[in-house]
Amino acid sequence: MRRHPLATAALAVALCTPAVAAEIASAKAPAGDINLAAQTIPAAIGTDPAPDSQHPARMAVLHIPTGGRTGHPVEVNGVAYLASGAGAHPTLLLLHGLPGNEKNLDLAQAVRRAGWNVVTMNYRGSWGSPGSFRFANNPEDATAALAYLRDPAHAQDLGIDTGRLVIAGHSMGAWTAAHAAAKDGKLAGLILISMGDIGVVAHLPHDKLVALAADNREALAGVTPESMAKEMENHADAFATAPLTARLTGTPLLALTSDDGLASHTDALVAGIRAHGGTQISTAHAATDHGWSDHRIALEAAVINWLQKLGG
């Protein structure tokens, strides 16, 4: 990967006329209601929990059924990072971006130390999961993962409190999480980290879409840069997050943005949710890159502090 997926100033500028591009370049994203520099750093970021010999922290490999809609059912790869301690735990489904070189596993481990289970997964056709990669499949795969975690047998085996399921995503994963949360309607929370709205990206000029896809298709099966570009173009309206806002008003939201040229994607979604009456929204902006490379502790702290306020 030669650059972070969906995240260069050139990408943001390419979406606009020169005048609008200049305005975006000079504007700063809203600071948000969370002061990342002043927040409390949870102990879980730097301290292991006390060992529990009866109920130790553990990992479990998952095989999550999906693909029924397309008529080509497969089982995608997942990993559960299970927290120590007796009883069912609140659980975070954490989704990676395009193509997923940054999987935020440091965040997963920190959240587990804070007492939450964390489940990661690879979409169809990505990172060894069977099937062909399609943007349209990603929300279905996330929905399938939520159904898997709610299944009584899996919930008991993995120690999942199905009433406290939260979905989170980074970049394309945040776009996926938003679509899955809007369809679900029963989640305890939604976390967006530097969302790249594929419905917005789809309006790039064709040659720029192809170049973007070519730069971010490693470890993706069954696609070419041209096919990825055409899928985005052909489904731009269906991929947009703006139509989701009315269905997200009841879901607590943590929206985190960075200086990656994409903050407007999240800001627009947040504004739409608020316009429909949504009030359970927390936001923060960091002066960092798309991968939060020099703000990893700030990211972990923001996520854990917010999760704990949900009653985790």
Encode pLDDT of 23-37 as tens digits.
344 445 555 799 999
Q: Please tell me the predicted confidence (pLDDT) of residue 311.
A: 60
Query: pLDDT by residue (tens digit) across 289-298?
Result: 999 999 999 9
Tell me the average pLDDT of the chain: 91
Q: Please tell me the predicted confidence (pLDDT) of residue 284.
A: 97
Q: Please tell me the predicted confidence (pLDDT) of residue 69.
A: 75
Residue 312: pLDDT band by 50, 70, 90 thresholds? very low
Q: Report, as an integer, the average pLDDT of 209-223.
A: 96
Residue 190: pLDDT band by 50, 70, 90 thresholds? very high
Query: pLDDT by residue (tens digit) across 155-179?
Result: 999 999 999 999 999 999 999 999 9
SS (H, E, C) the chain: CCCCCCCCHHHHHHCCCHHHHHHHHHCCCCCCCCCCCCCCCCHHHCCCCCCCCCCCCEEEEEEEEECCCCCCCEEEEEEEEECCCCCCEEEEEEECCCCCCCCCHHHHHHHHHCCCEEEEECCCCECCCCCCCCCCHHHHHHHHHHHHHHCHHHHHHHCEEEEEEEEEEECHHHHHHHHHHHHHCCCCEEEEECCCCHHHHCCCCHHHHHHHHHCCCCCECCCCHHHHHHHHHHCHHHHCCHHHHHHHCCCCEEEEEECCCCHHHHHHHHHHHHHCCCCCEEEEEECCCCCCCCCHHHHHHHHHHHHHHCCC
Which of residues 283 and 2 earns the better pLDDT score?
283
pLDDT at 10 over 50: no
pLDDT at 145 over 70: yes
Q: Report, as an integer, the average pLDDT of 46-71.
A: 93
Q: Please tell me the predicted confidence (pLDDT) of residue 6.
A: 62
pLDDT at 242 over 80: yes
Q: Please tell me the predicted confidence (pLDDT) of residue 300.
A: 98
Q: Please tell me the predicted confidence (pLDDT) of residue 13.
A: 38
Q: Report, as an integer, the average pLDDT of 242-269.
A: 97
